[in-house]
């Protein structure tokens, strides 16, 4: 793709604003040390631990450069404008005898491309292509299985797909579309790397469909397109890890898109608009097939979903029963078989839940037999291979059954996808679903919301962070949410907005996705006794941009559809004047760190403001354009103190390491084991402690090294591990009080301190929240009087550990320690899963302050 200079700059701004940095493709993934505190926050044991409630552990350092500027992101994948088959010869990765799938008798990653290439040679029904790359640079494959199509026939299918979304009324009235539109089905496999057999089951189905000579298969493929992302996590497949090569659980990333693997499948689902999708997982003892328990996502068109999801799940159950294995006599269907909260579909972070918002009937499938982790290491190879064979049978059977359901029910699925998008365009209220709509549907399943008429992302002085606003707009657009940009100033609900403000008109086909990303959410604590994973999130409240809600009106102003946010960077100061930059966003921090790396003498006026000398105006202009930040004029006579970028030693989770590196910090991972083995702290300015470091378990040499750092430098802690480190090391006289381990969500806070509190948002995110009591420290941030905005937070015991007890308490504290260093203790989660991006800067300010 050829880009003009201005286009390159524009796209670079968009990439940085979206936070789309990935690890290099230079190393094989290694084993992960023990995970963060929140890894143990399980709610139910499904044979192998609660599958959807673990957070990836911190991964070893792989030499990620903290200084390299991000590259311009290549154009997102979209189907080529040609017929089928669209066959490409896949590059062959090198053979890797250490691939963990080999022991199980499964296809190693390096064996997938040869099999697909051979199938393309043998069959004109199979097309294979690379649609992205993993965190470590491995190819991500998409296979399309369908009857051959001429370019004209394929173009007609594309036009019909667009019409279903953009003109549902016309699509409903088009008899040729209703007769000839091919039912799209999407199968996603191996999103968790050590849940292997979905890939093998999918390959079996692909091979059968490609080579079968019967008339029924030919008729099926003339009516259907089957899309298969064969392994969504090749890094984890090779290494035998749940996480990808960056240490992330990809099946928690779909609302955030921080990882290349989740971005790749996002583009697949947007481009293919499937009727039905399966996400093949393992292992739960008994095969598990969604639909899920309540709470159900309140932004779904749930009636259109459950009318298909339940019978499709029962059809898949019948298919595995016919396999004849003793362990496949039945399946667990959570909607039918589990209690509310045991296996919910509330957050949009999971692949099938995200797919529902894109028009699909999405299912997680959990195959039965455990072959990973302890089982992988301790069971005989023969038993592992027996289990894997059963699991592969189950995966293949569920895929075959889902394809059959989509084919048999093609007319109804088409009508209901059209209806979902029609409701969005029409702005109809959430449907009221009667009891008994499907067997078992009752009041506990009824979740609805009130859609606003529009969201407005202001431009000009009303915008808290232009960089954050651009990032949010770009994020919405790549997820297929419609955003427009006002050509002129306008007024709405008594407020004036300048030209260039962005508008999200909620009368659009994917209004559910727009709303689930932008609304505040809901406190569901009283509705279910527990939740499977996070219960609160909000890009409007936590991503750092100012976003207004219009409940009943949409702006009457000429506007242009947005494909990428407008550039936001600049230098707003006269020549010869020093510059100032407010540290409100991670992009601001990244810009400062790059300036420091290039030798600019940056100064700190206060915790939230840095000063750049007039002589470095050129350097400032470069980072302003690249990162979308704006420099203002510094007040005359502003002196400030020199600011240097701290070298950080971090005992932290993978998501925290990722966020720190994304902001441009140099990070050296440490742990109790690494320090006891002699890992040095020479040259380190600040220590981050949130996972895997116990002061009491350090040997004398390691403890002496840590003590020396604590005397000369700073420490920033998070969570229970950080609070325990503070107490054991005798840093600040703050006593931590813990809420329930699974309590999580969006909270209101009061910013009271000069470091973390300076310029921070009035909202934060918590998972296993803490608060601090005592004296002898500065309270940087307090929980508000009614703290929980959205999420699930019940008391530990009646009258203890709940949001009522947290109200008004210190959420973040800072101070000078008895050793002479500085410390900041977080009871909140400002870097959680690369999600609350608007909170990054407060953690960075804490690091700068503690390290000085």
Res 294 pLDDT > 70:
yes
Residues 580 and 697 in one domain: no
Q: Same structural domain for residues 602 and 692?
A: no
pLDDT for 469? 98
Beta-bridge mates of residue 609: 582, 606
pLDDT of residue 693: 98
Residue 277 inside a domain? The answer is: yes
On the question of pLDDT at 341 being above 60, the answer is yes
pLDDT tens, residue by residue, 214-265: 999 999 999 999 999 999 999 999 999 999 999 999 999 999 999 999 999 9
Among 410, 426, 442, the domain boundary falls at 426
Domain closes at, from 561, 591, 622: 561
Q: Are residues 520 and 603 located together in one domain of the fold?
A: no
Q: Looking at the structure, do residues 658 and 579 belong to the same domain, yes or no?
A: no
How far is residue 486's CA from residue 489's CA, in Å, rounded to a whole number?
Answer: 7
The CA distance from 690 to 568, in Å, is 34
> Quick one: pLDDT at residue 476?
98
Instruction: Based on the fold, state whether residues 512 and 586 are members of the same structural domain.
Output: no
Of 59 and 787, the structure prediction assigns the larger pLDDT to: 787
pLDDT band at 727 (very low <50, low <70, confident <90, very high): very high
pLDDT in tens, 503-551: 999 999 999 999 999 999 999 999 999 999 999 999 999 999 999 999 9
Q: Tokens 């455990």: give the residue.
A: 370
For residue 23, what pLDDT is reported?
30
For the chain, the average pLDDT equals 91
Q: How far apart are CA 734 and CA 714, in angstroms?
A: 16
DSSP conformational letter for 439: T
310 and 409 inside one domain: yes
3-state secondary structure of 824: strand
* Same-domain check for residues 732 and 638: no
Q: Where are the beta strands (DSSP E) in 546-637?
A: 548-550, 559-561, 570-572, 579-582, 603-606, 609-612, 630-633
Tokens linked to 426: 């029409």
Last residue of a domain, one of 594, 620, 642: 642
Per-residue confidence band for 76, with pLDDT thresholds at 50, 70 and 90: low
Closest CA to 49 of 59, 35, 29: 35
* One domain for residues 340 and 277: yes
In this structure, are 791 and 706 located in the same domain? yes
H or E stretch at 199:
helix 197-211
Classify the C-alpha dihedral 626-632-636-638 as positive or negative.
negative
Rounded Cα distance between 802 and 438, Å, is 36
**Quick check: is 32 in a domain?**
no
Distance CA 621, CA 631 (A): 9
Q: Does residue 690 sit in the same domain as residue 674? A: yes
Binned at pLDDT 50, 70 and 90, residue 78 comes out as confident
Residue 806 lies in a domain: yes
Give alpha helix (H) positions in 524-651.
539-542, 586-597, 617-627
Instruction: Evaluate whether residue 23 is within a structural domain.
Output: no
Pairing of strands 139-145, 224-229: antiparallel
In this structure, are residues 632 and 35 in contact, taking their beta carbons and an 8 Å threshold? no
Residues 95, 220: contact at Cβ < 8 Å?
no
- Position 77 confidence tier, pLDDT thresholds 50, 70, 90: low
Q: Is the peptide bond before 607 cis (omega within 30 degrees of 0)?
A: no
Catalytic site residues? Answer: 366
Residue where the block lists tokens 């994917």: 510
The answer to whether residue 25 is domain-embedded is no
| Confidence grade of residue 210 (pLDDT, cut at 50, 70, 90) | very high
User: 586-597 and 617-627 are packed helices; what angle lies between their axes, rounded to 10 degrees?
Assistant: 140
Q: Is residue 745 part of a domain?
A: yes
How far apart (Å, rounded) are the C-alpha atoms in residues 147 and 222? 5
Per residue in 672-683, pLDDT tens?
Answer: 999 999 999 999
Neighbours of 335 (CB within 10 A): 23
The Cα-based distances of 591 to 94, 225, 500, 626 in angstroms read 38, 46, 24, 8
CA distance 850 to 689: 13
250 closest CA partner among 189, 333, 299 = 189
Residue 43 included in any domain:
no
Omega before 622 within 30 of 0, i.e. cis? no
Q: What CATH number is attached to the domain comprising 231? A: 3.40.630.10
**And the tokens for 479?**
């997820």
Instruction: Provide the 10 A C-beta neighbour count for residue 324.
Output: 9
CA 382 – CA 482 distance, rounded (Å): 53
- Domain holding 238, by residue range, is 99-426
Q: Can you give the pLDDT at residue 151?
A: 96
* pLDDT-above-90 percentage for the chain: 89
CATH number at residue 593: 3.30.70
Contact 493, 763 (CB under 8 A): no
- Compute the Cα dihedral for 801, 802, 805, 809 and give only its sign: positive
Q: How many domains is the chain partitioned into structurally? A: 4
Q: pLDDT at position 595, please? A: 98
Distance from C-alpha of 742 to C-alpha of 736, rounded to nearest angstrom: 17
- 336 lies in the same domain as 284: yes
For the cut 90, the answer to whether the pLDDT of residue 848 exceeds it is yes
Structural domain contains residue 223: yes
223 and 156, same structural domain? yes
Residue 18 has pLDDT above 90, yes or no: no
Residue 814: how many other CB atoms lie within 10 Å = 27
Which DSSP helix (H) or strand (E) runs through 114?
Answer: helix 109-122
Which CATH number covers residue 702? 3.40.50.880
Task: Answer yes or no: are the C-beta atoms of 815 and 754 closer than 8 Å.
Answer: no
| Pairwise CA distance, residues 659 & 58, whole Å | 12
């Amino acid at each position: 793709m050829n880009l003009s200079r201005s286009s390159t700059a524009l796209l670079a701004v968009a990439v940085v604003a979206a936070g789309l940095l990935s690890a290099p493709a230079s190393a094989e993934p290694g084993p992960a040390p023990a995970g963060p505190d929140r890894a143990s926050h399980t709610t139910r044991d499904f044979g192998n631990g609660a599958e959807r409630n673990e957070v990836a552990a911190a991964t070893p350092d792989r030499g990620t450069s903290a200084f390299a500027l991000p590259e311009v992101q290549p154009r997102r994948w979209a189907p080529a404008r040609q017929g089928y088959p669209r066959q490409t010869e896949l590059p062959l990765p090198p053979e890797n005898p250490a691939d963990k799938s080999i022991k199980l008798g499964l296809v190693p990653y390096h064996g997938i491309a040869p099999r697909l290439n051979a199938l393309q040679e043998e069959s004109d029904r199979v097309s294979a292509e690379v649609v992205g790359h993993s965190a470590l640079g491995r190819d991500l494959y998409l296979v399309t299985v369908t009857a051959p199509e001429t370019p004209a026939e394929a173009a007609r299918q594309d036009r019909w797909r667009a019409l279903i979304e953009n003109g549902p009324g016309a699509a409903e009235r088009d008899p040729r579309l209703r007769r000839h539109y091919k039912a799209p089905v999407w199968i996603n496999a191996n999103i968790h790397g050590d849940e292997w057999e979905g890939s093998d089951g999918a390959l079996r189905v692909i091979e059968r469909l490609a080579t079968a000579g019967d008339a029924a298969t030919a008729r099926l493929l003339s009516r259907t397109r089957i899309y298969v992302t064969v392994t969504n996590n090749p890094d984890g497949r090779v290494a035998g890890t749940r996480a990808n090569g960056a240490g992330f659980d990809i099946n928690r990333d779909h609302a955030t898109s921080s990882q290349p693997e989740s971005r790749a499948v996002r583009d697949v689902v947007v481009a293919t608009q499937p009727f039905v999708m399966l996400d093949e997982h393992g292992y739960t003892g008994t095969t598990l097939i969604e639909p899920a328990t309540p709470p159900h996502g309140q932004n779904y068109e749930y009636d259109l979903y459950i009318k298909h999801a339940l019978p499709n799940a029962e059809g898949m159950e019948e298919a595995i029963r016919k396999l004849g294995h003793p362990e496949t006599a039945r399946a667990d269907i959570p909607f039918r078989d589990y209690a509310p909260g045991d296996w919910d579909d509330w957050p949009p972070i999971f692949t099938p839940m995200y797919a529902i918002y894109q028009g699909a009937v999405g299912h997680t499938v959990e195959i039965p037999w455990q072959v990973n982790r302890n089982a992988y290491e301790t069971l005989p190879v023969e038993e592992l291979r027996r289990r894997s064979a059963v699991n592969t049978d189950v995966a293949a059977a569920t895929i075959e059954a889902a394809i059959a359901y989509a084919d048999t029910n093609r007319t109804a699925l088409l009508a209901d996808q059209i209806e979902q998008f029609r409701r969005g365009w029409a702005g109809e209220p959430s449907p009221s679903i009667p009891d008994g709509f499907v067997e078992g549907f009752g009041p506990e399943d009824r979740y609805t919301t009130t859609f606003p008429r529009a969201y407005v992302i202001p431009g000009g002085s009303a915008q808290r962070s232009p960089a954050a606003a651009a990032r949010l707009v770009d994020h919405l657009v790549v997820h297929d949410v419609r955003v427009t940009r006002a050509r002129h100033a306008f007024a709405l609900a008594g407020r004036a907005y300048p030209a260039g403000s962005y508008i999200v008109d909620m009368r659009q086909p994917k209004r559910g996705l727009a709303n689930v990303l932008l609304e505040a959410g809901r406190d569901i604590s009283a509705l279910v006794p527990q939740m499977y994973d996070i219960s609160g999130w909000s890009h409007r409240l936590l991503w750092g941009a100012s976003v207004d809600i219009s409940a009943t009106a949409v702006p009457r102003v000429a506007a242009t559809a947005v494909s990428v946010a407008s550039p936001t960077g600049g230098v707003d100061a006269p020549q010869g004047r020093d510059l100032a930059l407010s540290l409100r966003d991670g992009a601001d921090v990244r810009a400062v760190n790059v300036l420091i790396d290039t030798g600019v003498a940056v100064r700190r006026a206060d915790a939230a403001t840095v000063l750049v000398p007039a002589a470095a105006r050129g350097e400032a202009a470069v980072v302003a354009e690249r990162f979308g930040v704006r420099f203002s004029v510094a007040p005359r006579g502003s002196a400030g103190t020199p600011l240097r970028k701290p070298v950080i030693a971090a005992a932290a989770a993978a998501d925290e390491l990722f966020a720190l590196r994304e902001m441009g910090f140099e990070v050296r991972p440490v742990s109790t084991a690494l320090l006891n083995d002699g890992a040095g702290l020479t040259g380190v300015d600040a220590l981050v402690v949130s996972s895997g470091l116990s002061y009491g378990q350090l040997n004398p040499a390691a403890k002496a090294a840590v003590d020396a750092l604590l005397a000369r430098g700073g420490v920033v802690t998070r969570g229970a591990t950080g609070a325990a480190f503070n107490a054991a090391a005798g840093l600040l006289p703050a006593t931590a009080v813990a809420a329930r381990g699974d309590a999580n969500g969006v909270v209101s806070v009061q910013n009271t301190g000069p470091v973390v509190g300076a310029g921070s948002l009035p909202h934060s995110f918590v998972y296993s929240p803490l608060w601090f009591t005592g004296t002898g420290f500065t309270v940087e941030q307090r929980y508000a009087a009614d703290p929980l905005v959205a999420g699930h937070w019940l008391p530990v015991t009646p009258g203890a550990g709940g949001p009522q007890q947290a109200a008004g308490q210190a959420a973040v504290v800072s101070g000078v320690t008895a050793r002479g260093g500085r410390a900041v203790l977080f009871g909140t989660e400002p870097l959680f899963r690369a999600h609350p991006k608007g909170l990054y800067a407060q953690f960075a300010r804490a690091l700068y302050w503690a390290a000085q």
